[in-house]
């Protein structure tokens, strides 16, 4: 049996110190439940002595049964000069009902004298008294040695004394913290080796990411014998964040072959990462290792050709192992392999020797040279393939459109009105609609003319709209690219338009969005 590494998640406490990250109490309960189901060993729920919301969370969690994880409550040591038995933070830990207490204490002499403004001896007593008082009252007590690596550099003897004081008082774990996040991995490894010569208590590691080394430093510590890794999902945390458990967990399991979360659960990693991003109202990081949309995305034609034959040529793990999937991008760098891959994805039968493949590739490169971008507009690319193959059957045809923007009074908001004439199933539809902008008005007018014939368009929603100026030197006469993201509750898709006129570029992307929706409905057998 391989060595077991315990994972300690502090997203609900340290993660919420990140700028713009906040969870409601119910968000915290939902996330704790997901972390437990994933197989996390410890969930640090917050600091019950610091704010009412965290205390309410712990009370709420007393009604929640965790099947795998142990809930930890965080606090500082007792205050200088006072007894642990009457210290408010100590009492709040007991009141929380959590089985695990994590006590943070200063391991850097500079912090003791300048931040706590007490003596080095009193700091050791604060650590020892707090842990000794909690030890018979909690199932497990951890000591977080704050600023340990900075403290070890400045005064190694004193830093070690803080660990020994905690160990002698009965701490179950000694967690070495790189609180400022500036220690490099080789220094972390060297310090952990030295610490293990002096203490026998199991060690944990808690690293911040200020030098972009938190994941590497955590793994380096594990290789030196550390048995617990602390971090947050997606690396949320103060300043530059904490060690990212979304990268650490698969590295431990898939790279180092260590026991961690149950192997069967690793396929839920991408969903878990996106779940916490959604709760935090954060857009998922596209380039995030292992789980990001771009983590297994291939763009260069030579790369795609190799991946088609042997995925390991350009993929360090199987994307499915972490719940992700392979993506092939289409751009001016594409080769025939990209086209064949995308055709197969859309159910279009092509092979490398057919002239249609070359025709699609040539058309793609011509359009991208004009400013089109299909990486985020795969629905437009599918329609491009259908048109190049002569298989595209339009659901409607534009006769004309017109947009008027009128400002009514000095204090009034401008009003946009669009008129659209389209031919649908042999009939000419002439509609008009207003909107809060020209594109919104066009969207309303087009749908007004189509929904009688295609009722499923009522499901269509425009989710995002992006404009990019392609040749800034031309100022207001510059060519414009518009990317639209749409959805219908079943899937989302992207479409693109490029023109000298921003309204025309928007119209192109809008029409492609509607065409894709109707084509998808036709494949699903939805009545038009």
Contact 70, 122 (CB under 8 A): no
Report if residue 274 sits inside a domain: no
Give me the number of domains the chain comprises.
3
Rounded to a whole number of angstroms, the CA Rg of the chain reads 29
Task: Examine the domain organization and report whether 83 and 163 are in the same domain.
Answer: yes
pTM: 0.71
Phi and psi at 54, nearest 5°, equal -65, -40
Question: Where a domain ends, among 192, 227, 261?
Answer: 261
In CATH, what number is assigned to the domain containing residue 381? 3.30.160.340
Question: Is residue 497 one of the residues assigned to a domain?
Answer: yes
Co-location of 376 and 439 in the same domain: no
Kind of pairing, strands 70-76 and 100-106? parallel
End-of-domain residue from the set 218, 239, 261: 261
Indicate whether 35 belongs to any domain: yes
Cα(522)–Cα(385) distance, integer angstroms: 17
Q: Is 336 inside any structural domain?
A: no
Query: What is the number of residues in the chain?
Result: 528
Return d(Cα 188, Cα 305) in angstroms, integer. Answer: 41
- In the predicted model, residues of the chain with pLDDT beneath 50 are 1, 331-335
- For the four alpha carbons of 53, 56, 60 and 65, in that order, the dihedral sign comes to positive
46 shares a domain with 193: yes
Query: Considering the domain boundaries, does residue 300 fall inside one?
Result: no
Residue 174 sits in the same domain as residue 148: yes
Q: Which residues are CB-neighbours of 390 under 8 A, at least 6 positions away?
A: none
CB of 496 within 8 A of CB of 514? Answer: no
Same domain, 361 and 508: yes
| CATH number (domain holding residue 187) | 3.20.20.70
Considering the domain boundaries, does residue 338 fall inside one?
Answer: no
Is the same domain home to 52 and 163? yes
| 76 three-state secondary structure | strand
Query: Structural domain of residue 370, as residue ranges?
Result: 354-392+461-528
User: Taking a C-beta distance cutoff of 8 angstroms, is the pair 17, 273 a contact?
Assistant: no
Specify whether 12 is located in the same domain as 156: yes
Q: Where are the alpha helices (DSSP H) in 371-486?
A: 378-388, 438-450
| Residue where a domain stops, chosen among 212, 230, 261 | 261
Q: What is the pLDDT of residues 203-262, one digit of tens each?
A: 999 999 999 999 999 999 999 999 999 999 999 999 999 999 999 999 999 999 999 999
Residues 68, 100 within the same domain: yes
Q: Is residue 182 part of a domain?
A: yes
Comparing CA positions, the residue from 234, 204, 279, 230 lying closest to residue 9 is 230
Q: Rounded to whole angstroms, how far apart are CA atoms 214 and 476?
A: 45
Q: Is 181 helix (H, G, I), strand (E, B) or coil?
A: coil
- For residue 48, give the 3-state DSSP assignment: coil
- What φ, ψ does residue 342 adopt, rounded to 5°? -65, -35
**Separation between Cα atoms, residue 378 and residue 67, nearest integer Å:** 42
pLDDT at 319: 86
Residues 142 and 67 in one domain: yes
Q: What element of type H or E holds 92?
A: helix 88-96
Asked if the structure places residue 496 within a domain, the reply is yes
Same-domain pairing of 361 and 443 = no
SS (H, E, C) 227-262: CEEEEEHHHCCCCCCECEHHHHHHHHHHHCCCECCC
372 in the same domain as 491: yes
Residues 405 and 492 in one domain: no
CATH number of the domain that residue 408 is part of: 3.30.160.270
């Amino acid at each position: 049996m391989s060595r077991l590494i315990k994972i300690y998640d502090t997203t609900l406490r340290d993660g919420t110190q990140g700028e713009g990250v906040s969870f409601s109490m119910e968000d915290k309960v939902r996330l704790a439940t997901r972390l437990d189901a994933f197989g996390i060993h410890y969930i640090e729920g917050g600091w019950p002595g610091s704010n009412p919301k965290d205390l309410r969370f712990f009370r709420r969690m007393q009604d929640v049964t965790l099947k795998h994880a142990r809930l930890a409550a965080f606090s500082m040591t007792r205050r200088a000069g006072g007894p642990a038995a009457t210290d408010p933070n100590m009492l709040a830990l007991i009141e929380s009902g959590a089985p695990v207490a994590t006590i943070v204490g200063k391991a850097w002499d500079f912090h003791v004298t300048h931040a706590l403004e007490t003596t080095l001896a009193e700091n050791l007593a604060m650590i020892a008294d707090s842990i000794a008082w909690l030890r018979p009252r909690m199932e497990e007590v951890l000591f977080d040695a704050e600023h340990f690596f900075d403290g070890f550099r400045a005064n190694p003897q004193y830093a070690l004394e803080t660990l020994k004081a905690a160990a002698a008082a009965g701490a179950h774990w000694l967690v070495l913290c790189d609180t400022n996040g500036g220690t490099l991995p080789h220094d972390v490894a060297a310090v952990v080796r030295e610490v293990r010569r002096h203490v026998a208590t199991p060690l944990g590691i808690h690293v911040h990411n200020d030098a972009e080394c938190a994941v590497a430093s955590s793994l380096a510590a594990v290789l030196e014998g550390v048995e617990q890794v602390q971090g947050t999902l997606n690396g949320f945390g103060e300043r530059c964040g904490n060690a990212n458990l979304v990268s650490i967990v698969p590295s431990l399991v898939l790279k180092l072959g260590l026991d961690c979360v149950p192997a069967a659960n690793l396929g839920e990693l991408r969903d878990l990462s996106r779940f916490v991003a959604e709760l935090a109202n954060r857009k998922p990081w596209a380039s995030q290792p292992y789980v990001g949309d771009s983590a297994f995305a291939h763009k260069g034609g030579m790369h795609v050709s190799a991946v088609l034959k042997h995925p390991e040529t350009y993929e360090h793990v199987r994307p499915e192992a972490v719940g992700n999937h392979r993506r092939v991008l289409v751009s001016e760098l594409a080769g025939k392999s990209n086209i064949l891959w995308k055709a197969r994805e859309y159910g279009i039968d092509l092979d490398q020797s057919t002239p249609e493949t070359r025709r699609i590739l040539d058309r793609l490169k011509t359009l991208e040279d004009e400013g089109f971008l299909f990486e985020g507009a795969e629905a437009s690319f599918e329609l491009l393939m259908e048109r190049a193959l002569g298989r595209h059957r339009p659901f409607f045809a534009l006769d004309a459109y017109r947009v008027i923007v009128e400002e009514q009074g000095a204090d009034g908001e401008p009003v946009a009105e669009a008129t659209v004439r389209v031919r649908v199933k042999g009939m000419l539809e002439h509609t008009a609609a207003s909107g809060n902008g020209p594109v919104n008005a066009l969207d309303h007018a087009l749908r007004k003319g189509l929904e009688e014939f295609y009722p499923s368009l009522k499901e269509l929603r425009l989710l995002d709209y992006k404009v990019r100026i392609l040749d800034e030197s031309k100022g207001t006469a510059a060519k414009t690219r518009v990317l639209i993201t749409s959805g219908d509750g079943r899937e989302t898709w992207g479409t693109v338009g490029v023109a000298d006129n921003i309204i025309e570029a928007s119209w192109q992307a809008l029409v492609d969005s509607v065409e894709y929706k109707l084509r998808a409905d036709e494949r699903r057998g939805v009545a038009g």
